[in-house]
Amino acid sequence: MSRVAVVTGAGSGMGLAISQHLAARGDRVALLDLNGAAVEEAAQRLRDGGAEAIACQVDVSDRSAVLAAIETARRELGPIEIMVTSAGIEAFVDFLDISPEDWDKMMAVNLTGTFHCLQAVVPDMLAGGWGRIVTISSSSAQSGTKRMASYVASKGGVIALTKALAIEYAAHGITVNTIPPGFIETPMMHRPIDSGELPPMKDLLTRAPMGRSGTSEDIAAACTFLCSEEAGYITGQQINVNGGWYL
Ligand code: NAP
């Protein structure tokens, strides 16, 4: 059955792979991202492959922009049935050096951005009596990670928000789960390695039980299952996709 899905952060990394997987199984997909050119190109590639896909340039921390993008998706594709929130930012800073402005920005994008997106789509899911929500959080919020306090706190909030909504909407046919990824090779992972914030890849991998990092495909496979009919009895869960490895 073809569903209408919205994926944020769809211009890169996991969000891009998730939109590709959902389109490949026949869903109509709206790709949202701050990077308008990336998401336009990604949607065009999906359309070239025969899928129904649209792109919306949006900053998820901007509530009115989120509401406008969801309205566009609803008008062009239909009521929203699946929402995946992958848009996010990270920062490596000693706790004492986090400015209030940087703290607010992290919360605005990672946590409040998730709130805006979910509030925009839940009414469609309630009206349809069916919904699948997957938030992308982080294993760092499960283990704690030094020099990432604002990021870890924002992702801890995403996990808590996921659990709260799972209970609130459990009786309405809407499942709400989170994937806390471990160490996944995407541009977000390569940036701190390239800048020296994280050790070189070969050193990081000595701590990986499987001897490899994860891929966006690993995340997309799990996410697509959580967005399926068959996953209807899974809600409020943290589905760890981390190769057995907590940072
Ligand atoms: P990525 O390749 O950097 O993709 C993230 C996408 O989100 C980018 O296209 C980015 O656009 C977009 N974005 C950033 N701020 C936005 C905003 N305000 N509004 C809309 N879009 C915005 O990173 P990724 O690794 O796929 O990360 C996906 C999610 O997984 C993130 O939430 C991240 O925190 C989480 N995560 C990643 C890892 C990992 O190992 N990679 C581990 C744990 C959790 P720009 O490029 O223009 O900024």
Instruction: Give backbone dihedrals phi and psi of 54, rounded to 5 degrees, phi first.
Output: -130, 160
Q: Which residue of 6, 8, 12 sits with most ligand 1 atoms within 8 Å of its CB, as the best mutation to test the pocket? A: 12
- Please report the pLDDT score of residue 247 as a whole number: 61
- The angle at the Cα of 117, spanning 130 to 114, to the nearest 5 degrees, equals 110
Catalytic site includes residue 151: yes
Q: Is 187 in the pocket of ligand 1 (CB under 6 A)?
A: yes
Residue-level pLDDT at 37: 98
| 14 Cβ below 6 A of ligand 1 | yes
Residue 80 is encoded by which pair of tokens? 């929203």
Assign domain 4-231 one CATH number from 3.10.180.10, 3.10.129.10, 3.40.50.720, 3.50.50.60.
3.40.50.720
Q: What is the pLDDT along the chain (247 residues), one digit of tens a residue?
A: 899 999 999 999 999 999 999 999 999 999 999 999 999 999 999 999 999 999 999 999 999 999 999 999 999 999 999 999 999 999 999 999 999 999 999 999 999 999 999 999 999 999 999 999 999 999 999 999 999 999 999 999 999 999 999 999 999 999 999 999 999 999 999 999 999 999 999 998 998 999 999 999 999 999 999 999 999 999 999 999 999 986 6
CA-CA distance, 233 to 225, in Å (whole number)? 12
Report CA(39)–ligand 1 centroid distance (Å): 13
Query: Which of 151, 169, 233, 246 is an active site residue?
Result: 151
**Binding site membership of 141 for ligand 1 (Cβ less than 6 Å):** no
CA of 71 to the centre of ligand 1 (A): 23
CA atoms within 13 Å, Cβ hemisphere of 66: 24
Phi, psi of 29 (to 5 degrees): -125, 135
35 lines ligand 1 (CB under 6 A): yes
Pair of tokens at residue 46: 């999906």
Q: Is the CB of 12 under 6 A from ligand 1?
A: yes
User: Which residue's CA is the nearest one to ligand 1's atom 32?
Assistant: 88
